[in-house]
Amino acid sequence: MKYQNNLSYAQQLDAKDPLSYLRDQFHIPKDKNGNDWLYFTGNSLGLQPKQTQKYIQQELDDWAKYGVEGHFEAKNPWLPYHEFLTEKMAKVVGAKPLEVVVMNTLTTNLHLLMVSFYQPTKTKYKIVIESDAFPSDRYAVQSQLKFHGFDAEDGLIEWKPRKGEDLLRIEDLEEIVKKEGDEIALLLIGGVNYYTGQYLDIKKIAKIGHSKNCFVGIDLAHGAGNIQPNLHDSGVDFAAWCTYKYLNSGPGSLAGLFVHEKHANNKDLPRFAGWWNHNKETRFNMRMPFDVMNGAEGWQLSNPPILSMAAIRSSLDVFDKIGMDALRQKSEKLTGYFEFLINEINSDDIKIITPTNPKERGCQLSIQVKNADKSLHQKLTKNNVITDWREPDVIRCAPVPLYNSFEDVYRMVTILKELL
């Protein structure tokens, strides 16, 4: 597609965009003069759908009206509330409803999943992560290694970019597993790298790990609602993700969890137990021995926090009406235009480290600015451009197809060019 570097062209793209109406369904933050921010941090915290307040208010009203009876009498009964989210969340990540549940928070879910899928022995105990994994993933796997009595440094293998490169190569992971696979128990990889925005081949990663009988898990914090991971077809054993980024469910909102169907009926998998992963048919007979549920629900521990789930339900209803296919189509066009405009700056001091292939990235572009520091980010903020700074010299920008426009992208790059 041939783009043009002018405002009228950006406005023409918005006029032709079949999803442009969605922007009006979100609260766009404004400056003190009432002007919309140019908001490019949906990769950190998504914007609030306008209908979310109504969804939460419904549960507050039913709590006031029914008290504890709201578990059964509320308009959306609370007892099975998490089930209202399952099918729509499964569509977002490409899974079967049996394989998905919304519960807890991301790192908590990773730990619960590692109880089941990190099963080290004296000789097969190592864990592979990408070298620039999000810190919480690193901390989680290091603590799991220590918990099982292994040295956190010796037990951790990093999949690194080659010298002088920013992106990971799948053949380097193949080489790691080929050489050390007999000692590797688990691969835990970020499906979309938070720093570079690189979208990794999840299906290929699963095949590589399974070739040496390693479990494979994926952190989709920067993937869910952004790319189409097709988790069921990928064959990965498990995955987890948050909902407050691209899924627009509010700060600190609950997370999602995937366990592949092949493990659905394996009641012998080690796991932590609680009231809510006990068979729902006998759950309220308080003196029954533990009877774990099948599927992803078998990893729940506690009854669901309804107010957070109401916000997730609001967002998933938006996704369900649009579909991930349409969102991805717009995302590729929007990010492609963004990439074109950045390249038009034509400066040796600026470089996009995110893959140029749209199939190898989501909507985030990571822009490396030579000799820059955080003052550049601060200047952007003063100009109402909300981006995300990552040391030492990268601005992360995510034009989200639900609420960002082509005009947003054009205006953001115009400001960046002026500041440079």
**Mean pLDDT value across residues 191-201:** 97
Domains (range + CATH), the chain:
7-48+323-419 (3.90.1150.10), 80-320 (3.40.640.10)
Give me the residue label for tokens 């990965």: 236
> Nearest-CA neighbor of 51 among 315, 400, 320, 319?
315
**SS3 label, residue 390:** strand
Measured in whole angstroms, the distance separating CA 363 from the mean position of its chain's CA atoms is 12
pLDDT in tens, 249-305: 999 999 999 999 999 999 999 999 998 899 888 888 878 888 899 999 999 999 999
pLDDT in tens, 223-251: 999 999 999 999 999 999 999 999 999 99
Q: Using an 8 Å Cβ cutoff, are 250 and 308 in contact?
A: yes
How high is the pLDDT of residue 283?
85
Q: Using an 8 Å Cβ cutoff, are 224 and 199 in contact?
A: no
Share of the chain above pLDDT 90, in %: 92
Max Cα-Cα span within the chain:
70
CB atoms within 10 A of CB 302: 11
pLDDT in tens, 139-182: 999 999 999 999 999 999 999 999 999 999 999 999 999 999 99
How high is the pLDDT of residue 156?
98
pLDDT in tens, 130-143: 999 999 999 999 99
How high is the pLDDT of residue 289?
87
How high is the pLDDT of residue 284?
82
pLDDT in tens, 10-26: 999 999 999 999 999 99
Indicate the average pLDDT of the chain: 96
Cα(109)–Cα(179) distance, integer angstroms: 30
